[in-house]
Amino acid sequence: MSIPDRPPLWALFGEGLSGFEGLRLATQWQQLAGMPRGSGTVLLCPGWQAPEVSMLPLERFLKTRGYDARPWGIGRNDGDVPELIPRLADRAAEEAARSGAPVALVGWSLGGYLAREAARELPEVIRRVITLGSPVIGGPKYTRLAPFYRLQGEDLDAIEDAVAERARKPLAVPIHALYSRLDGVVSWQACVDHGEALAENVEVKTTHFGFGLSPAVFRIVADRLARDAQPLTS
């Protein structure tokens, strides 16, 4: 599949409508109470340069469904991927030890990529990963951030190769990759996982910044998490 270097300009302008997802969430909150309940710890991983509070609406929703949803505990996502992957894996291991069962990870944008890679490192402590508008290939190459990384002297082709090299080790946990053709930050084609046997690709209609507020996204997240009817044991 050919992947454009970045999303089209019209999609970037469409990001200005992301706030409407908040209105939809407010009007549909009561309806979301009908989504399946579950249990277990869910760590929420924010996107590039985003604070943990950016995941608060999803955190509150998941708590209503019975989950011990909590921030990833690392603070703002500063984008230092080589450092953040092992830190997130360690956090997952800590929470799994605390609760006595593997945890689920839900990550937005770069946070989703970090969640995937943490699961690749320590699948025994992570039971399921859900990514929201996350580039699963190419790193930042196929995103609106590509020019920024180039200005910092980063070799995006080398990053893409490094991402592909890591992916040679198959993921051993279920992955649900949510993507949107309306995404104005990450090329949607880069969010589709064609390489992992345990991956499910799910299309939604929202903007990149709308993933954390979209009722449609919340429904899918609740449905996939509920597939773990009983907490797994390591």
Percent of the chain with pLDDT over 70: 96
Q: Minimal CA–CA distance to 77: which of 107, 52, 42?
A: 52
Any idea how long the chain is?
Answer: 234
Q: Sketch out the chain's domains with CATH numbers.
A: 9-33+54-225 (3.40.50.1820)
Q: Pull the structure tokens for residue 71.
A: 């921030």
- Rounded CA-CA distance 192/200 in Å is 9
pLDDT higher than threshold 50 for residue 160: yes
- Tell me the pLDDT tens digit for each residue of 98-111: 999 999 999 999 99
Q: What is the dihedral of CA 161, 179, 126, 157, to 10 degrees?
A: 10
CA distance readout (Å), 227 to 115, 213, 221, 224: 18, 22, 10, 5
How many other CB atoms are there within 10 angstroms of residue 60's CB atom? 11
Tokens 């993933």 -> residue? 211
Residues 199, 193 contacting (CB under 8 angstroms):
yes
Q: Minimal CA–CA distance to 191: which of 217, 153, 215?
A: 217
- Rounded CA-CA distance 13/86 in Å is 35
Q: Pull the structure tokens for residue 181.
A: 């053709």
- Tell me the pLDDT tens digit for each residue of 115-143: 999 999 999 999 999 999 999 999 999 99
Predicted TM-score of the model (pTM): 0.93
Residues 158, 137 contacting (CB under 8 angstroms):
no
Label residue 229 by pLDDT band (50, 70, 90).
low
Residues 142, 135 contacting (CB under 8 angstroms):
yes
Q: How far is CA 226 from the centre of its chain?
A: 17
Tokens 């190459």 -> residue? 141
Label residue 234 by pLDDT band (50, 70, 90).
very low
Arithmetic mean of pLDDT over the chain = 94
Tokens 């708590």 -> residue? 63
From the number of C-beta atoms within 10 Å of its C-beta (0-12, 13-18, 19+), residue 100 rates as exposed
Residue 192 DSSP class = -
How many other CB atoms are there within 10 angstroms of residue 19's CB atom? 12
